[in-house]
Amino acid sequence: MKILLTTIASCLLLVGQAQQAPYLNPALPLDTRVQDLLNRLTPEEKIYQMMNSTPAIPRLGIPEYNWWNEALHGVARSGIATIFPQPIGMAATFDDGLVHAVADAISDEARAMYNAALKKGYHMQFGGLTFWTPNINIFRDPRWGRGQETYGEDPYLTSRMGVALVKGLQGEDPRYLKVAACAKHYAVHSGPERLRHQFDAEVSPKDLWETYLPAFHALVDAKVEAVMCAYNRTDGEACCANTYLLQDVLRNQWGFKGHIVSDCDAIADIYEGHKLVNSKTGAAALALERGVNLNCGDTYLSLIDALHQGLVTQKEIDSSLAILLRTRFKLGLFDPAGSDPYDRIPERVINSPEHRALARKVAEKAIVLLKNNGALPLSGGLKKYYITGPNAAAVDVLLGNYYGVNDRLVTILEGLAAQAQPGSQMTYRQGVLLDRENVNPIDWASGEAKTADATIAVLGISGLLEGEEGESLASPSAGDRLDYNLPAAQLEYLRKLKKGNSHPVIAVITGGSPMNLAEVQELADAVLLVWYPGEEGGNAVADILFGKVSPSGKLPVTFPRSYDQLPPYEDYGMKGRTYRYMKADPLYPFGFGLSYTTFSYGDLNVSKARIGPHENVVVTVTLTNTGKMASDEVAQLYVTHENQGEGAPLFALKGFQRVSLAPGASTRLSFTLTPEQLSLIDAKGLRVMPAGKIRISVAGSLPTHRSEELGAARGVETEVEITEK
């Protein structure tokens, strides 16, 4: 104890002696403080401060700090925190205002947790304020195990959701960041997981600028504090040593002012995986030269040798570190306690009742009703309910990946049990294993469905089968899903549940990616896709099943009928991929989702039928709830360029609005389409405004015959003509 007190006293003395230093004076300009601190660091200290795990510098009163922190859908890996639905589920809400509220709650909890840790002198990994989220890669192929982390397959939806998350995380204070967000993984990154450390994602200029870069550009415009470069190469250059992506586009064209961080050990991959240089020293020097400020890993230790060998200069190191230090100053990490408003966020916000209510609301709005033959909503007073399936009582299916922990996780079984009325009977048997046949041949489970008034079978996949390399313990392909079907044992169990059963069987499907649900669609009386719904997932599922809330989620990703409809996984060309370029008929279209009520669209008008290449067009439409239950609807606006050749998108989402309507109520919606939204990207990657007709459609799903076959309301459409002058 005496040694500990002496150490603390020594540190306090050093801090006291340094109080007069300009870098510790919050009243001075940011650049002045950064330069003063730089001048006080030795060359070795500077290099150590450019890795994710930075050591303390006691002589300057600077504690250790770890840049690696996660908050994909709640503060992750750092203790008790509110666990919101996985981002693919948040995307299904089509509600960027709701995502902003989620991010605001997450950053409040992050600050409260950081403040509490700081009082105890803790400076652990996953306990800081620099969060490596959001993942705004495009979910171009359903095989990618990390697609669950994204906001789906559409650049516009991804941009809206990503911007909302960044603004909610970083806060609105003109001087301080609440936390620092990070746009990842830059760029052209979406599997295969097993190959990511040596893979070259080759992409045309058109696909690069039309699909893979728009969300990153949007987040840079929203002043995201960091960008993470990816593991892979893009068109031959490692993403963390890519002149075109990092310098020409990110810094020069977009004017990005924040810091660039490598994915973890991605700089080592330049040497070990991509073999673009012949040493770690060479890899470190190349990454620094191309603009990477922060190394997740320890390869930047080799910068000490690179400096001695003349491969890098002290000026290059100083310039790079200065950008990093700006982030730490903007977070208030060198200011006295209480200097910024976020120092006062109390611990009581962590997993507060308000945040739990928000998590439940998001989960409700994310759930997608894929089929309903009249079985739903269920009455809470039926005589007997039978709950079964491998995921009914499972905690893993609430979490997805990159999650926190929680002492009140509500499984689907628990949520349903909480809403069953007294006098009703509810029984549960798991019935079948997640991903393999039962070893015990005795089946007491499937027959029980015939004795119940309603059977709820909770099927699907979990993080055991899909996720990041190394995380998915039951995945034979490093977290990717190279088998598109549900596990065969689950389908066989569903057949048994339905055979000879005159009562409804409802399939509740968990997972974070498209999967082949064709037989589930055929067998079940109703199908609900609930994603990885977070800590309140069980309550949200029960709210939907028992009709407290009408389902209103929409698919942010296309569900192909099979892998036969997809190009090879390693092919990064967009032809045949996503709703924008896929001509084959899908199982479920992008934007699809049913409700307990019905909606109609009508009276579509445009401000001008002929518009010049630099003019906006205003689109208005009437939306009416024609059913008997209050519900939300997501009105989606799509643009199609007529007669623009093979490369033009078949459809392109350019606007969406979530609206709540009472039965019989109508509202008039207005969308403004800008010249940029009406333009196209040509083969050279340049934005052009082609003259000709453009079809504008507004509907509650992708406006195709497949959507109508599945029960979506018919949308409305009109045409405008873009003139040359």
Q: 623 with 673: CB under 8 angstroms?
A: no
Residue 311, C-beta contacts closer than 8 angstroms, at least 6 positions apart: 281, 282, 285
- Residue 601 tokens read as 């669209």
Closest CA to 111 of 129, 97, 96: 129
Calculate Rg over the CA atoms of the chain: 27
Q: Evaluate the omega torsion of the peptide bond into residue 192 and state whether it is cis, within 30 degrees of 0.
A: yes
Residues 538/395, Cβ–Cβ less than 8 Å:
no
Residues 230, 264 contacting (CB under 8 angstroms) = no
Alpha-carbon torsion, ordered 75, 81, 83, 84, to 10 deg: -70
- How far is the CA of 376 from the CAs of 100, 282, 594, in angstroms? 31, 62, 11
Ranges of beta strands (E only) in 438-496 are 454-460
Cα end-to-end distance, the chain, whole Å: 80
Return phi, psi of residue 605, to 5°: -135, 150
Question: Could you tell me the two tokens for 707?
Answer: 């959507």
Q: Which of 154, 448, 466, 535 is catalytic?
A: 466
Whether the Cβ atoms of residue 136 and residue 214 lie closer than 8 Å to each other: no
CA–CA dist 72, 87 (Å, integer): 7
**How many whole angstroms separate alpha carbon 105 and alpha carbon 348?**
12
466 is catalytic: yes
| DSSP per-residue codes, 567-604 | --TT----TT-HHHH--SPPSB-TT--B-SS-EEEEEE
- Contact between residue 591 and residue 651 where contact means Cβ atoms under 8 Å apart: no
Judge contact between 93 and 150, C-beta under 8 A. no
| Separation in Å, CA 75 to CA 110, 278, 404, 439, 652 | 6, 39, 6, 39, 33
Q: What is the 3-state secondary structure (H, E, C) of 109-128?
A: HHHHHHHHHHHCCCCCCCCC
Whether 425 and 382 have beta carbons less than 8 Å apart is answered as no
Residue pair 495/505 in contact by the 8 Å Cβ criterion: no
Establish how many alpha carbons lie within 13 A of residue 172's alpha carbon, considering only the half-sphere containing its beta carbon. 6
Phi, psi of 80 (to 5 degrees): -65, 130
Whose tokens are 């908050």? That residue is 71
Question: Residue 721 carries which side chain, given as an amino acid letter?
Answer: E
With beta carbons less than 8 A apart as the criterion, state whether 195 and 229 touch: no
Q: For residue 49, give the nearest of 35, 32, 64 by alpha carbon.
A: 64
Which residue out of 96, 109, 237, 263 is catalytically annotated?
A: 263
Which residues lie closer than 8 Å to 441 by C-beta, 6 or more apart? none
Sorted by sequence, the CB contacts under 8 Å of residue 644 that are 6+ apart come out as 680, 690, 692
Return d(Cα 583, Cα 565) in angstroms, integer. 9
Q: Residues with Cβ < 8 Å from 42, sequence gap 6 or more?
A: none
Q: How many CA atoms lie within 13 A of 560 on its CB side?
A: 21
Distance CA 98, CA 650 (A): 29
356 with 540: CB under 8 angstroms? no
Tokens of 135: 């993942």
Computed from CA positions of residues 268, 273, 279, 285, in that sequence, does the dihedral angle turn out positive or negative?
negative
Residues annotated as catalytic are: 263, 466
